A and B are shown apart, each in its own frame.
Chain A
Amino acid sequence: KNEVEQSPQNLTAQEGEFITINCSYSVGISALHWLQQHPGGGIVSLFMLSSGKKKHGRLIATINIQEKHSSLHITASHPRDSAVYICAVSGGGGSEKLVFGKGTKLTVNP
Protein backbone atom coordinates (compact mmCIF):
# COMPACT_ATOMS: atom_id res chain seq x y z
CA LYS A 1 0.00 0.00 0.00
CA ASN A 2 1.33 3.43 -0.98
CA GLU A 3 1.94 5.83 1.86
CA VAL A 4 -0.07 8.49 -0.02
CA GLU A 5 -3.29 7.57 -1.82
CA GLN A 6 -5.23 9.97 -4.02
CA SER A 7 -8.71 9.66 -5.42
CA PRO A 8 -10.00 9.78 -8.00
CA GLN A 9 -7.17 9.00 -10.43
CA ASN A 10 -9.02 10.73 -13.24
CA LEU A 11 -11.78 13.32 -13.08
CA THR A 12 -13.75 14.97 -15.86
CA ALA A 13 -16.00 17.92 -15.09
CA GLN A 14 -18.02 20.55 -16.87
CA GLU A 15 -17.02 24.17 -16.55
CA GLY A 16 -18.51 25.68 -13.42
CA GLU A 17 -18.71 22.47 -11.42
CA PHE A 18 -17.38 22.10 -7.87
CA ILE A 19 -14.38 19.74 -7.76
CA THR A 20 -13.07 17.67 -4.86
CA ILE A 21 -9.84 15.68 -4.89
CA ASN A 22 -8.99 13.51 -1.90
CA CYS A 23 -5.70 12.47 -0.34
CA SER A 24 -5.14 9.93 2.43
CA TYR A 25 -1.83 9.13 4.03
CA SER A 26 -0.63 6.48 6.42
CA VAL A 27 2.40 8.05 8.11
CA GLY A 28 2.89 10.83 10.62
CA ILE A 29 3.61 14.09 8.85
CA SER A 30 4.80 17.60 9.53
CA ALA A 31 3.24 19.10 6.40
CA LEU A 32 1.08 18.24 3.40
CA HIS A 33 1.53 19.86 0.01
CA TRP A 34 -0.90 20.22 -2.87
CA LEU A 35 0.85 20.68 -6.21
CA GLN A 36 -0.34 21.36 -9.75
CA GLN A 37 1.36 20.05 -12.88
CA HIS A 38 0.32 21.04 -16.39
CA PRO A 39 1.17 18.69 -19.29
CA GLY A 40 4.81 19.08 -20.22
CA GLY A 41 5.18 21.74 -17.58
CA GLY A 42 6.78 22.18 -14.25
CA ILE A 43 5.16 21.77 -10.86
CA VAL A 44 3.55 24.67 -9.03
CA SER A 45 2.97 24.62 -5.30
CA LEU A 46 -0.66 25.44 -4.48
CA PHE A 47 -0.79 24.92 -0.73
CA MET A 48 1.32 23.76 2.16
CA LEU A 49 -0.64 23.00 5.29
CA SER A 50 -0.25 21.22 8.58
CA SER A 51 -3.68 21.87 10.07
CA GLY A 52 -7.06 23.38 9.32
CA LYS A 53 -7.93 25.03 6.06
CA LYS A 54 -6.39 27.40 3.53
CA LYS A 55 -8.03 29.33 0.69
CA HIS A 56 -6.52 30.98 -2.35
CA GLY A 57 -8.90 32.34 -4.94
CA ARG A 58 -11.13 29.49 -6.10
CA LEU A 59 -8.98 26.85 -4.41
CA ILE A 60 -9.54 25.53 -0.89
CA ALA A 61 -7.43 22.92 0.90
CA THR A 62 -8.36 21.22 4.14
CA ILE A 63 -6.59 18.71 6.32
CA ASN A 64 -7.76 16.46 9.16
CA ILE A 65 -4.69 15.30 11.06
CA GLN A 66 -6.57 12.76 13.19
CA GLU A 67 -8.09 11.09 10.15
CA LYS A 68 -4.91 11.51 8.04
CA HIS A 69 -6.92 12.97 5.21
CA SER A 70 -6.82 16.10 3.08
CA SER A 71 -9.06 17.47 0.36
CA LEU A 72 -8.49 19.98 -2.41
CA HIS A 73 -11.59 21.80 -3.63
CA ILE A 74 -11.97 23.92 -6.76
CA THR A 75 -15.03 26.13 -6.95
CA ALA A 76 -16.47 27.31 -10.27
CA SER A 77 -14.04 25.14 -12.25
CA HIS A 78 -12.64 26.42 -15.53
CA PRO A 79 -10.91 24.67 -18.45
CA ARG A 80 -7.62 26.30 -17.42
CA ASP A 81 -7.83 24.27 -14.19
CA SER A 82 -7.18 21.15 -16.28
CA ALA A 83 -3.96 19.66 -14.93
CA VAL A 84 -2.62 16.89 -12.72
CA TYR A 85 -3.04 17.62 -9.01
CA ILE A 86 -0.55 15.92 -6.72
CA CYS A 87 -0.67 15.45 -2.97
CA ALA A 88 2.65 15.06 -1.16
CA VAL A 89 3.51 14.62 2.50
CA SER A 90 6.67 15.38 4.40
CA GLY A 91 8.21 14.88 7.74
CA GLY A 92 7.34 11.27 8.42
CA GLY A 93 9.93 10.09 10.94
CA GLY A 94 11.54 13.54 10.95
CA SER A 95 12.67 13.17 7.36
CA GLU A 96 12.66 15.91 4.72
CA LYS A 97 11.80 13.27 2.14
CA LEU A 98 8.62 14.28 0.32
CA VAL A 99 6.40 11.31 -0.53
CA PHE A 100 4.10 11.92 -3.48
CA GLY A 101 0.75 10.51 -4.46
CA LYS A 102 0.28 9.32 -8.03
CA GLY A 103 -1.75 12.39 -8.91
CA THR A 104 -5.29 13.14 -10.06
CA LYS A 105 -5.73 14.11 -13.68
CA LEU A 106 -8.46 16.75 -13.93
CA THR A 107 -10.08 17.69 -17.22
CA VAL A 108 -12.58 20.54 -17.22
CA ASN A 109 -14.63 20.78 -20.40
CA PRO A 110 -16.10 24.07 -21.60
Chain B
Amino acid sequence: GAGVSQSPRYKVAKRGQDVALRCDPISGHVSLFWYQQALGQGPEFLTYFQNEAQLDKSGLPSDRFFAERPEGSVSTLKIQRTQKEDSAVYLCASSSAGTVSPLHFGNGTRLTVT
Protein backbone atom coordinates (compact mmCIF):
# COMPACT_ATOMS: atom_id res chain seq x y z
CA GLY B 1 0.00 0.00 0.00
CA ALA B 2 0.93 3.63 -0.25
CA GLY B 3 1.13 4.35 3.45
CA VAL B 4 1.47 2.79 6.88
CA SER B 5 -1.54 0.65 7.68
CA GLN B 6 -2.68 -0.20 11.19
CA SER B 7 -5.40 -2.57 12.28
CA PRO B 8 -7.79 -2.70 13.91
CA ARG B 9 -8.73 0.98 13.84
CA TYR B 10 -10.65 0.60 17.11
CA LYS B 11 -10.42 -2.09 19.75
CA VAL B 12 -12.49 -2.49 22.90
CA ALA B 13 -11.18 -5.01 25.40
CA LYS B 14 -12.36 -6.08 28.79
CA ARG B 15 -9.83 -5.70 31.58
CA GLY B 16 -7.64 -8.77 31.67
CA GLN B 17 -7.97 -9.66 28.01
CA ASP B 18 -4.99 -9.91 25.68
CA VAL B 19 -4.90 -7.74 22.54
CA ALA B 20 -2.75 -7.71 19.41
CA LEU B 21 -2.30 -4.60 17.29
CA ARG B 22 -0.90 -4.83 13.79
CA CYS B 23 1.27 -2.43 11.79
CA ASP B 24 2.03 -2.79 8.11
CA PRO B 25 4.81 -0.30 7.28
CA ILE B 26 5.70 1.20 3.93
CA SER B 27 7.38 -1.46 1.82
CA GLY B 28 11.15 -1.30 2.11
CA HIS B 29 11.21 0.83 5.24
CA VAL B 30 13.90 -0.46 7.54
CA SER B 31 12.84 1.41 10.67
CA LEU B 32 9.60 0.87 12.55
CA PHE B 33 8.43 2.64 15.69
CA TRP B 34 5.55 2.17 18.13
CA TYR B 35 4.20 5.09 20.16
CA GLN B 36 1.45 5.44 22.76
CA GLN B 37 -0.72 8.56 22.83
CA ALA B 38 -2.99 9.14 25.80
CA LEU B 39 -5.97 11.46 25.36
CA GLY B 40 -4.87 15.09 25.11
CA GLN B 41 -1.20 14.23 25.33
CA GLY B 42 1.67 14.01 22.88
CA PRO B 43 2.84 10.57 21.73
CA GLU B 44 5.35 8.69 23.83
CA PHE B 45 7.95 6.27 22.52
CA LEU B 46 7.41 2.58 23.14
CA THR B 47 9.86 0.64 20.98
CA TYR B 48 11.99 0.72 17.83
CA PHE B 49 12.90 -1.92 15.23
CA GLN B 50 15.57 -1.88 12.60
CA ASN B 51 14.52 -4.65 10.24
CA GLU B 52 13.67 -7.59 12.51
CA ALA B 53 15.91 -6.45 15.36
CA GLN B 54 14.29 -4.70 18.30
CA LEU B 55 17.00 -2.18 19.11
CA ASP B 56 15.21 -0.19 21.80
CA LYS B 57 12.31 -1.30 23.98
CA SER B 58 12.96 1.10 26.82
CA GLY B 59 9.57 2.79 26.44
CA LEU B 60 7.46 -0.32 27.00
CA PRO B 61 5.63 0.45 30.25
CA SER B 62 5.60 -3.07 31.68
CA ASP B 63 6.37 -6.69 30.88
CA ARG B 64 2.75 -7.02 29.75
CA PHE B 65 3.77 -5.20 26.56
CA PHE B 66 5.55 -7.14 23.85
CA ALA B 67 6.40 -6.22 20.26
CA GLU B 68 7.77 -8.25 17.41
CA ARG B 69 8.69 -7.87 13.75
CA PRO B 70 9.83 -11.37 12.83
CA GLU B 71 10.43 -10.88 9.09
CA GLY B 72 11.40 -7.24 9.17
CA SER B 73 8.13 -5.98 7.70
CA VAL B 74 4.82 -6.34 9.55
CA SER B 75 4.96 -5.69 13.29
CA THR B 76 2.62 -6.70 16.10
CA LEU B 77 2.28 -4.99 19.46
CA LYS B 78 0.78 -7.34 22.02
CA ILE B 79 -0.62 -6.29 25.37
CA GLN B 80 -1.35 -9.04 27.86
CA ARG B 81 -3.86 -8.80 30.70
CA THR B 82 -4.97 -5.33 29.64
CA GLN B 83 -5.58 -2.70 32.30
CA LYS B 84 -7.66 0.49 32.11
CA GLU B 85 -4.53 2.61 32.05
CA ASP B 86 -3.58 0.93 28.76
CA SER B 87 -6.43 2.84 27.06
CA ALA B 88 -4.78 5.06 24.47
CA VAL B 89 -4.11 5.43 20.77
CA TYR B 90 -1.24 3.24 19.64
CA LEU B 91 0.63 4.75 16.71
CA CYS B 92 3.03 3.02 14.36
CA ALA B 93 5.51 4.85 12.14
CA SER B 94 8.08 3.74 9.62
CA SER B 95 11.02 5.37 7.90
CA SER B 96 13.84 4.51 5.57
CA ALA B 97 16.58 5.41 8.05
CA GLY B 98 15.63 5.89 11.66
CA THR B 99 14.66 9.33 12.90
CA VAL B 100 17.02 11.20 10.60
CA SER B 101 14.63 10.53 7.73
CA PRO B 102 10.97 11.58 7.47
CA LEU B 103 8.57 9.46 9.48
CA HIS B 104 5.35 8.08 8.03
CA PHE B 105 2.63 7.44 10.57
CA GLY B 106 -0.35 5.13 10.48
CA ASN B 107 -3.79 6.31 11.60
CA GLY B 108 -3.37 4.49 14.89
CA THR B 109 -5.38 1.95 16.84
CA ARG B 110 -7.62 3.38 19.55
CA LEU B 111 -7.68 0.90 22.41
CA THR B 112 -10.35 1.20 25.09
CA VAL B 113 -10.14 -1.11 28.08
CA THR B 114 -13.39 -1.40 30.03
Residues of chain A touching chain B, judged by Cβ–Cβ distance below 8 Å, are: 30-31, 33, 35, 41-45, 48, 50, 86, 88, 90-91, 95-103
B16 near A: Cβ within 8 Å?
A: no
CB contact between B91 and one of A42, A48, A90 (< 8 Å): that residue: A42
Contact check, B58 vs A43: say whether CB atoms are below 8 A apart.
no
Smallest CB gap from A33: residue in B: B103
Could you tell me if B43 and A50 are in contact, using CB atoms closer than 8 angstroms? no
Which residue on chain A has the smallest CB distance to residue B3? A42
Known: A42-B105, A45-B105, A97-B45. A90 touches B56 (CB 8 A): no
Whether A90 contacts B42 by the Cβ 8 Å rule is no
Contacts of B104 in A (CB 8 A): 45
B1-45: CB near A (< 8 Å → 1, else 0) gives: 000000000000000000000000000000101010000011111
Besides the known contacts A90-B99, A96-B56, 6 further A-B residue pairs in the complex with CB atoms under 8 A apart: A30-B99, A33-B102, A33-B103, A91-B100, A98-B33, A98-B35
Least CB distance from A20 to B in Å reads 19
- Contact residue among B48, B55, B98, B107 (Cβ-Cβ distance under 8 Å from A42): B107
Distance in angstroms from B6 CB to nearest chain A CB is 9
**Given A42-B91, A43-B43, A102-B42, A97–B48 Cβ distance below 8 Å?**
yes
Q: Within the assembled complex, what's the spacing in Å between the Cα atoms of A97 and B59? A: 9
List 19 A-B residue pairs with CB atoms under 8 Å apart, sorted by A's residue number: A31-B100, A33-B102, A33-B103, A35-B103, A35-B105, A42-B105, A42-B108, A43-B93, A50-B100, A86-B42, A86-B43, A96-B31, A96-B33, A97-B45, A97-B58, A98-B99, A100-B44, A101-B42, A103-B42
